[in-house]
Amino acid sequence: MTQRKIPAATLMQLLGPWTGRGPAYVNLARAIQHLVLDGRLPLAAQLPSERTLAAASGFGRNTIKAAYDVLQDDGFLVLRPGVRRVVTLPPLATTPGVPLPPLSHPHLIDFAAAALPAPEGLIHEAFMHALTALPTYLPTHGYTPLGLPVLRSAVAARYRARGLPTTPEQIVITFGAQHAFSLIVRLVTSPGDRVLVDQPTYPHALDALRAASCRIVPVALTPGGWDVEGLAAAARQTVPRLAYLIPDFHNPTGHLMPDAVRSEVTRLLHQTRTLIVVDETLAELALAVPVSAPFAVHDRHATVVSIGSMSKSFWGGLRLGWIRAPRDLAERLGAARASVDLGTPVLEQLAGAWLLRDPDPLLGRRRKQLRDQRDVLVEYLGQQLPEWTYRLPEGGLSLWVTLPQPVGPALVAQASRFGLRLTAGERFAHDGLLARQLRLPFTQPVAELREGVTRLARLFREVVGQDVLLDDPGNATRLEV
Ligand SMILES: Cc1ncc(COP(=O)(O)O)c(C=O)c1O
């Protein structure tokens, strides 16, 4: 397998200002440890040699060696024969605290799922229209592996309305975006193929890649979004078969990929003949910016396949999504799905087509609701957990919160005692911990958000009160959560 190498200059850039009070080697070890815990240094990557890092940092080789020794003692580095020091995680770091007995709570507040309930009345109305249209289809056999023409046309029309010429023949209707991605992975990859993904990314996409025995190549997002140089280096070093990107209100970080980055990413992944799969599930949930043109407007070489879904804009229970691909690939995808399923139910597709004939009024209401709920969540977090930090996302369904200490796993382990469900940051990482991160959806009604933040604050105070923190440099690498 191609071993990813972290050049000394890249490591220095990732580290930012890391010096401070206390011995330099301890500060350096602690800063590298945070990069590992935050998923910004990929596991199994090689760190630079002591000599090159000493030259790049201006510190002596002994300092670098001492820092690497600390990391090695604490299980964040291993020595592999013939290679340099390799990033890893200590077994202790993934061990949650011992669960305590549950406290009594009238109901659970679910911060684990980022999805809205169905819009009042509309889904019912869509199915009433679908039932009326159904008799036309009853004399046919009803198998639609590529999708009903009426829905394929409605999806294609939506792409055209957003500025991307698209024909119905380019669309394959699926059971949601997750099914769409799994179909693409099954058709396009072979076991052992490398697939480039953002780190963090959507957990079930990682699951689909693991199920297909792909080798996952994570490229860390920076606090500002996509790291084009990092992406280029990973693509050059690993020549991935596929890249899976979420350019619009990225799940979980909320980042929106700027147009210039979209064209650059398309250009550079064309050089390695990498098929780019863009997941646009959240694209229409723009809260503070206009909805972007579909990513594929930057595609000059037919190397972009887009997936979309009605789950987040309309309702997850519809189980309707799609793939937009070059026509021949769309046909091959339709044929390939026969080993798993023979098409999406006609009634659901008719309901979907009815909903898509005029989606803007509902989308407008959805955006306003999400904006209001996002602002409420932010307000309560500011009041009750001011030490939690996040970037205000311009769209999507959640905040990606950074905790002041790596206590995410402990919060998740203890959440049910406080009547909460939380998803661990590590679900969004490939072989990483992301122990300082939590995704907090703002898809709950305002009253639930208020109560949820109150419970979160009590949970957090209890957990940090119990645990040994990493703030003391003399105790830099003990993680007791
Ligand atoms: C980025 C992303 N892709 C795919 C999905 C799955 O969507 P679907 O319900 O359409 O399968 C989700 C749902 O959370 C998502 O956030």
pLDDT tens figures, 98-148:
455 555 566 889 999 999 999 989 999 999 999 999 999 999 999 999 999
Of the candidate ranges 36-40, 243-247, 392-396, the one whose mean pLDDT is the lowest: 36-40
Q: Is 323 in the pocket of ligand 1 (CB under 6 A)?
A: no
Q: How far is the CA of 134 from the centre of ligand 1 (A)?
A: 28
Q: Is the CB of 316 under 6 A from ligand 1?
A: yes
Query: Could you tell me which residues are beta bridge partners of residue 219?
Result: 198
- Residue 92 Cα, ligand 1 centroid: separation in angstroms? 32
Is ligand 1 within 6 A of the CB of residue 481? Answer: no
Which pair of structure tokens corresponds to residue 92? 């202790």
CA distances from 144 to 172, 176, 342 (A): 10, 15, 7
Predicted structure pTM score: 0.83
Query: How remote is the CA of residue 422 from the centroid of ligand 1, in Å?
Result: 18
* Maximum distance among all Cα pairs of the chain, rounded to whole angstroms: 80
DSSP letter assigned to residue 46:
B
Instruction: Give the pLDDT score at 475.
Output: 32
CB 442 within 8 A of CB 373: yes
The structure tokens listed for 82 are 């013939």
Q: 281: CA distance to ligand 1 center in Å?
A: 6
Question: In the predicted model, is pLDDT for residue 161 greater than 90?
Answer: yes
Q: What percentage of the chain reaches a pLDDT higher than 70?
A: 93
Q: Which residues, at least 6 apart from 169, have a Cβ–Cβ distance to it below 8 Å?
A: 152, 327, 330
| Domain covering 8-88 assigned CATH 2.120.10.80 in the classification | no
Amino acid 472: pLDDT: 36
Q: Give dist(CA 297, CA 278) in Å, integer.
A: 12
- Residue-wise pLDDT for 318-334, tens only, equals 999 999 999 999 999 99
Q: Cα separations (Å) of 200 from 226, 321, 411, 452?
A: 11, 23, 19, 24
pLDDT of residue 81: 76
Residue 27 in this model has a pLDDT that exceeds 50: yes
Strand bridging mode 215-220 / 242-245: unpaired
Residue 246: C-alpha distances to residues 72, 202, 261 (Å): 34, 8, 13
Fold of 122-358: Aspartate Aminotransferase; domain 2 (3.40.640)
Q: Whose CA is nearest to atom 2 of ligand 1?
A: 281
**Ligand 1 atom closest to Cα of 321?**
10
Is residue 253 lining ligand 1, measured as CB closer than 6 Å?
Answer: no
Of 265, 297, 266, the residue nearest 283 (C-alpha): 297
**Rounded mean pLDDT of 401-429?**
92
Instruction: Give every CB contact of residue 81 below 8 A, 6+ residues apart in sequence.
Output: none
What is the average per-residue pLDDT within 292-301? 94
Find out whether the beta carbon of 321 lies less than 6 Å from any atom of ligand 1. Answer: yes
- H-helix or E-strand spanning residue 233: helix 228-238
Which one of 206, 281, 423, 443 would you pick to mutate in the ligand 1 pocket, going by the greatest count of ligand atoms within 8 A of its CB? 281
For helices 446-466 and 360-384, give the axis angle rounded to 10 degrees. Answer: 40
Provide the pLDDT confidence category of residue 5 given band limits of 50, 70 and 90.
confident
Task: Look at ligand 1, atom 14, and give the residue with the nearest C-alpha.
Answer: 114
How many Å is the Cα radius of gyration of the chain?
24
Residue 17 neighbours by CB distance under 10 Å: 6
CA distance 234 to 217: 8
DSSP 3-state of 195 = strand
The CA 279 to ligand 1 mean position distance, Å, reads: 8
d(CA 216, CA 319): 27
Answer yes or no: are the C-beta atoms of 185 and 336 closer than 8 Å: no
Query: Beta strands of 266-403 (E only): which ranges?
Result: 275-279, 304-309, 321-324, 398-402
Interacting residues of 472 by C-beta distance below 8 A, sequence separation 6+:
none
Q: What rounded mean pLDDT belongs to the chain?
A: 90
Peptide bond preceding 23 in cis form (omega within 30 of 0): no
What residue segments make up the domains of the chain, in order of their start?
8-88, 109-114+361-475, 122-358
Task: Provide the CATH number for the domain formed by 109-114+361-475 in this structure.
Answer: 3.90.1150.10
Tell me the two tokens of residue 321: 């999504």
How far, in Å, is the centroid of ligand 1 from the Cα of 273? 26
* CB 443 less than 6 A from any atom of ligand 1: no
Model pLDDT for residues 213-269, shown as the tens digit of each residue: 999 999 999 999 999 999 999 999 999 999 999 999 999 999 999 999 999 999 999
pLDDT of residue 95 exceeding 50, the answer is no
According to DSSP, residue 59 is labeled S
Is 390's C-beta closer than 6 angstroms to any atom of ligand 1?
A: no
> Cα(477) to centroid of ligand 1, in Å?
36
- By alpha-carbon position, which residue is closest to atom 16 of ligand 1? 251
Token reading at 263: 């064209």
Strands (E), 73-116: 77-79, 85-87, 109-110
- CB-count exposure of residue 301 (10 Å: 0-12, 13-18, 19+): exposed
> The tokens of 93 are what?
């770091």
Residues 6+ apart with CB under 8 A from 461: none
| Residue that the structure tokens 């309309």 belong to | 314
CB-based contact 67:22 (threshold 8 Å): no
Q: Which of 110, 178, 341 to mutate to test the pocket of ligand 1 (most atoms within 8 A of CB)?
A: 178
